[in-house]
Each structure stands twice: as C-alpha cells, then as structure tokens.
Chains A and B, each alone.
Chain A
Amino acid sequence: MSEKYPINLWVNEERYEKLQKAGLAAMCQEMLAGLKCIQVYCNDAQKDKILKVFPTAKFDSATTKSIELLPRQVKDKIFDLVVQKQSIDIMDDFLKNY
C-alpha cells in the first residue's frame, strides 16, 4: 500500500463556524490536548507536487511525517474545498489548478 501523508488543517473559530454551518463539525478530530484538526491526505505524487508548487511547505520527515507550513491562504482553499465537497478526499481536485 502506498504511503499517505497528512496535511493538518487546524480548525480555528472561523473554520469551525463554517464546518458547523455545513453540518460537518463531526469531521474534526481532536489532537494535541484538545486542538481540533481535519487531516487531508496526499499520496507520494501529490506530496511531491505540493512541495514543488509551494516552496515554503515542508515535509516533516523526522517527527510527524506530515506536510506543514503551507501558506494560510492555501490551507484556507483546501479547507473550503473540504467543506464544499463534504469530503477529505479532495487533493486531486485541489491540485488540478496547479
């Protein structure tokens, strides 16, 4: 099975409100002593593309094995797509534009 790499969408109040309105609040998981988070997953090819298209992004290979430091606006777009599609399986759709 191929590896899957999460992007952590940390849910602040603004994002939580959007989730509640869409009836998606249950999508959140709780991490790190109470932080709300939605994880969307990338495969190898998607991970490589993300790191290439967004040079500030970093794959935390040592500790969390997650893709971090995507610009806030980019994560907002990913988050909005999650809400729109009511699914976390959105990376193909998201990357179409890049």
Chain B
Amino acid sequence: MAEIGHGGKEIKERILEPAEAKKRIQGLKQYPIRSQLANEVIDIAYGFFSPLEGFMGKADVESVCKKMRLKDGKTVWSIPIVFDMSKEEIAEYGVKPGASLLLTYTGNPMAIFEIEEVYEYDKKSLAKDVYGTDEAKHPGCARTYAYKDKFVGGKITLVNRPKINEPFTPYFLPPLELRRIFKEKGWKRIVAHQTRNVPHTGHEWLMKGAWFQTYGELPMDKPYVGVLVNAIIGEKRKGDYIDEAIILTQDELRKSGYFGDHNHLTSLTFWDMRYAGPREAVFHAALRTNLGLTHHMFGRDHAGVGTYYGAYDAHRLLESLKGEINIVPVYSENWLYCPHCGEITSESLCNHKKEWQKFSGTLIRSIVQDGVKPPRLIFRPEVFDLVLECAEKYGFGSPFVEEEYLKKRTPVFVMPPLA
C-alpha cells in the first residue's frame, strides 16, 4: 500500500541500487558539499522532505517566501530548501540546466544532482519573509547571508547510503522504516516531540501530557498511542549538549522505565535548525507528517530564538493552516515544579502561582555545569549519570560542545566508498 506523505503525495525514496549508481555516475564532475547540504540531500532522498524531489527552483522559493506554499499553490511549505554555489564554481563545474553533478561528502560519492535551473534570489527579502526580520544576528538570517551568490535547483538521487556511526545507528529511521515500525507496534496515533535537548522532567511531562491529549477517546485495551522523540541533529554551537548525550538520554527515559517500548520511540532527523519560530513549526509539521505521525506537540515559542517571536505565534499560524496540514497540533504550556503540590505540574493545572518554581533546559545545564546533581523530581538520575558518561566517552570530558569536540568528534554519518 502506498505511504502518503505531506501534500498528499506518495513517499518514494530516491535511492539507486549500487550497480545502477555506478553506471549513472560515470563521467560526472564531482562537487564536494558541506554538512548542511549533505543533511538535506539525505532528507530529500529518504522522503523526510516529501513531496520535494530536489533543491528548490526560483518559483518554489518565491512561492514559499511569499505564500508559504510550493509553486503548485496548494502544498504548504514554509522554509526554502536551497543549494547555493558561487559564480566561480558554476563556471568551473559547468553548472547549467540539463547538466548533472555528482555530489560528494566526506570524500565519497553521495548523490546525483540533475540541474534544472540556476538563479539568484534576494537574500534580504528571503530572510524577511521567512524569519520576519532581516537582522544579521538572527541565526537563520545569518545562515541565509552566508549563502553563496547563486542558487541551483534540481532533482537529487542518492547513489550511496550513508554510514551512520555509533551511537546514532539505531536512531536513523527514515519515513518508510518508521511507518513500518509504527504498524508493527499497532499504534494508531503517534505524537511527535521535537527536541535538541537532554530531557529534564519538564520535557518528560510535556511528552506525557501530549500522550494523554493524543490518546483521547481511544480504548485502553492495547497501547494505541506512542510518543516519537524526533531529535534534530545538525550544526552544533558551543555550549549545546553534545549530540550523543541528547539522543542517548532521550532513549534512556524509555530504557529506565519512565516510558516503555509500548509507548515511546526515539529517532533523529538531520537538519540545521533555522530558528524560524512559527515557520519552523509549520516545517516540523510537514516533516513529521512524512514520518507517519498523526499529532505534533508545540510548546511555547516553538523553535524560536531570543525575543523574535511571541510565545503563541506558532500556535496561531498552525491554526490558520487547519485543513491544509495533515497532522493534529497538540499545544502545551510549560511544566514546572510546585513545592506546594510536591510535584511537576502544568501552568494550566496548578493554581499555587506564587509558589511555582519554573525551570528550563538552560537552568538545568547551569546546575550540571556547577557540578550539582539535580533531584530526581527535576532530572532523572539515570539521565544525569548518562550525561556524565557521554561527557567522558564522546565529549572529551564535557557534556557540552567545546572546541575540541567540534574538531575531533566522530561525525554522525559519513559516505562510505561506493560498493
């Protein structure tokens, strides 16, 4: 049976078999790509970005920027997926409509790029439309301004499957694989938890709250609802938790029994966050629809940064798109510690407002950095121990990204030589 993804299109992997790949890459010029583009090549080829079949042409970019739709005018899409090249590279590699390049990554063949269009697009206008600001200090704008001066649109076909390195291997679950797992588990509804963090109990209760909200009227005779933690793995900034700690601690909540196999699964998506707030929320809705999810959690200031977006801007934008996106938004308030209740509770439930003690991922990082083990009501001891273990095993002594980690870490994936 066809697996239908975002925009009502069938999800089809764009991956060649090795023998066919070897034939097709003969004589193609090789162009090495950076990690952002390699991440997006994987996302396109495996169907994370369905219905996209490649990098966007100008009409798609313009339509996405101005109308938040692909050029068909119907399919909601909120963030341009572009491939940038310099004028000099375009000349050197003979990039023009009808030509093809062999994209390489970590020194080995990755994908065929069938070029359909070479164009320019005003970066300031793109930034303003997507991020609601053109300030260079917004990380999404900064990324846009760092693009080279030309964009290239065209289809992508993977010629070689990436080798996902440990400890990430079990968490790379592309859309068709995930959908198969959901069927095996018998889940009728699956709610997405978007994360780039090591979980504290506020996160844990966000997930548990969303699980209750998603369960709704379904019978309890069997586990029909699961939470998918979909960790975003991409460019790291100093001070972030290291990727290994994020993915392993999220899964630890299941392994240590705070959830179980019957209601919890962890996977990853390769994506360099744009921090586009409301537009990134819409992008997440499309992405998770492709993963086979029926519901998606959206908290306050989803995927925002600084003070660029209001706490509920993303919720309002998603509401305005009702009927056009095929995933049910599950909205949530923050969870916090109430000393009066003696438990983690929600702003929407508890009325001991004067006693509330709010905590955030940043606050917990600060506690860990001070060498203090937080109480189990705030941070699970198994998670804390694993954070320290990851620091030793993967983080060169620190659970947070430092210069040495950026230079020496084992990459999450590499392209192996073509078999």
Contact = CB atoms under 8 A, between A and B. Distances in A.
A interface majority secondary structure:
loop
A5 B359 CA distance: 15
A32 B359 CA distance: 8
Interface string B312-344: 000000000000000000000010010100100
Interface string A39-60: 0000000000000000010101
Contacts of B36: none
B369 A69 contact: yes
A70 B363 CA distance: 11
Contacts of A14: 371
Contact of B360 (A9, A31, A60): A60
Contacts of B307: 61
Contacts of A32: 337, 357, 359, 374-375, 377-378
B362 interface: yes
B370 interface: yes
A56 B238 contact: yes
Interface residues on chain B, size class = 20 to 34
B363 A68 contact: yes
B370 A63 contact: no
A69 B362 contact: yes
Nearest to B376: A33
Given A61-B307, A63-B360, A56 B239 contact: yes
A28 interface: no
Interface in B57-90: none
User: Which of B239, B300, B362, B375 has most chain A Cβ within 10 Å?
Assistant: B362
B378 A33 contact: yes
A71 B374 CA distance: 18
A71 B301 CA distance: 27
Contacts of B238: 56
B365 A72 contact: no
B363 A8 contact: yes
B180 interface: no
A11 B311 CA distance: 32
A60 B365 CA distance: 12
Nearest to A62: B301
Q: Which of B306, B357, B363 has the most CB of A within 10 A?
A: B363
Nearest to B336: A63
Contact of B366 (A33, A61, A62, A68): A68
Interface of B: 238-239, 300-301, 306-307, 311, 334, 337, 339, 342, 357-360, 362-363, 365-367, 369-372, 374-375, 377-378
